[in-house]
C-alpha cells in the first residue's frame, strides 16, 4: 500500500516526472513516492494498462496528479510522442527515471547464467530493453530539459554489477553498460544543468522478481549487510526521490549502491 502523502516531504512540488516501467513493482512505488512528494507523474507502461491506470487512480485518490501512457522504450518515435504528450499536459519535464526492464526470470539454473550456454540473443534482448531504452528516453526528454537548462535523469541498475553473486550474464552486462552511459551523459549534459546518476539496488523486499525468494534468503542477506536488514522497495524508492530532488543538486555522474552497504563500490 502507498504511504500517506503527509509522511513524505514535498521535495518535488510542481516538478514533472516520467517513470518508465511504472505500472507495478518498484516502478509503481517510485511513481507513487514522486507524486506524494508533489510531482506530476507520467506512469509509463508497455502491456499492463490496467495496472498502470490503477497506479494513476491511487495517486489521484491521495491528492496527486498523474497520467498513464503506453510506449515501448525501445521505439524512439513512441517515447518522443510520450514526452510531447507530457509537455502538452504538464508544461515541462524535470525528471526522467529509466526503470523499464525487459521481461526477465531470475533463475540461477537458467542457461544464461553460464558463459558456456548463454546466447548472444539473451544479451541483445537485455541491451535493447535496458540500454537502448535509456538512450531513447534521454533523447526524447533532452530538448525540453535543455530548453529549461535543468533536469534530472536517474538510471536504475543492480548491485550485481559490483558483486555478481549470481552470474546473470545478459542482465548484468546490460545493467553495467548503464554505468558508462550515466557517466558519459553527465559529462556532456552538465553544461545544461542536467544531472545524471545511477542507483543500483540489491534483492529488494519484495518485487515481482523477488516474490519467490524465501524468508530464509532475505534473512541471510540481512545478516551479511552492515545495516542488518534487506532493502525494501520503499527504501529504494526513497533514494530515487532524493536523487530527483534539489537536495542532490551537487551530485552527477555517480553510481550509487542502495543495498544497506552490502556492496561498497
Catalytic residue annotation: 171
Cα–Cα distances in angstroms (integers) from residue 97 to residues 138, 174, 217, 219, in the given order: 10, 17, 29, 30
In sign, the C-alpha dihedral spanning 88, 50, 75, 209 is: positive
201 Cβ contact partners less than 8 Å away, ≥ 6 residues apart: 26, 156, 157, 158, 159, 231, 236, 257, 258, 259
Q: How far apart are CA 2 and CA 32, in angstroms?
A: 7
33 Cβ contact partners less than 8 Å away, ≥ 6 residues apart: 3, 8, 234, 237, 238, 240, 241
Cβ atoms within 10 A of the Cβ of 58, count?
17
Do residues 218 and 161 make contact, with C-beta atoms less than 8 angstroms apart?
no
Amino acid at each position: 500500500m502507498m504511504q500517506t502523502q503527509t509522511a513524505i516531504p514535498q521535495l518535488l512540488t510542481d516538478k514533472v516526472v516520467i517513470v518508465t516501467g511504472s505500472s507495478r513493482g518498484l516502478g509503481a512505488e517510485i511513481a507513487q513516492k514522486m507524486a506524494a512528494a508533489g510531482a506530476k507523474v507520467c506512469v509509463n507502461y508497455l502491456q499492463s494498462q490496467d495496472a498502470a491506470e490503477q497506479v494513476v487512480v491511487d495517486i489521484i485518490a491521495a491528492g496527486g496528479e498523474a497520467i498513464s501512457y503506453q510506449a515501448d522504450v525501445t521505439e524512439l518515435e513512441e517515447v518522443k510522442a510520450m514526452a510531447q504528450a507530457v509537455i502538452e499536459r504538464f508544461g515541462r519535464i524535470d525528471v526522467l527515471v529509466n526503470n523499464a526492464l525487459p521481461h526477465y526470470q531470475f533463475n540461477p539454473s537458467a542457461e544464461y547464467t553460464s558463459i558456456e550456454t548463454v546466447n548472444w540473443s539473451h544479451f541483445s534482448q537485455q541491451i535493447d530493453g535496458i540500454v537502448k531504452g535509456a538512450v531513447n528516453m534521454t533523447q526524447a526528454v533532452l530538448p525540453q530539459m535543455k530548453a529549461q537548462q535543468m533536469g534530472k535523469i536517474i538510471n536504475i541498475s543492480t548491485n550485481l554489477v559490483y558483486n555478481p553473486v549470481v552470474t546473470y550474464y545478459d542482465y548484468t552486462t546490460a545493467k553495467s553498460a548503464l554505468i558508462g552511459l550515466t557517466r558519459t551523459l553527465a559529462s556532456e549534459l552538465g553544461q545544461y544543468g542536467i544531472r545524471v546518476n545511477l542507483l543500483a539496488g540489491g534483492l529488494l523486499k519484495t518485487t515481482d522478481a523477488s516474490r519467490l525468494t524465501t524468508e530464509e534468503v532475505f534473512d541471510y542477506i540481512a545478516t551479511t549487510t552492515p545495516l542488518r536488514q534487506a532493502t525494501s522497495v520503499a527504501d529504494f524508492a526513497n533514494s530515487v526521490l532524493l536523487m530527483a530532488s534539489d537536495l542532490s543538486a551537487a551530485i552527477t555522474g555517480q553510481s550509487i549502491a542502495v543495498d544497506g552497504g552490502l556492496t561498497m563500490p
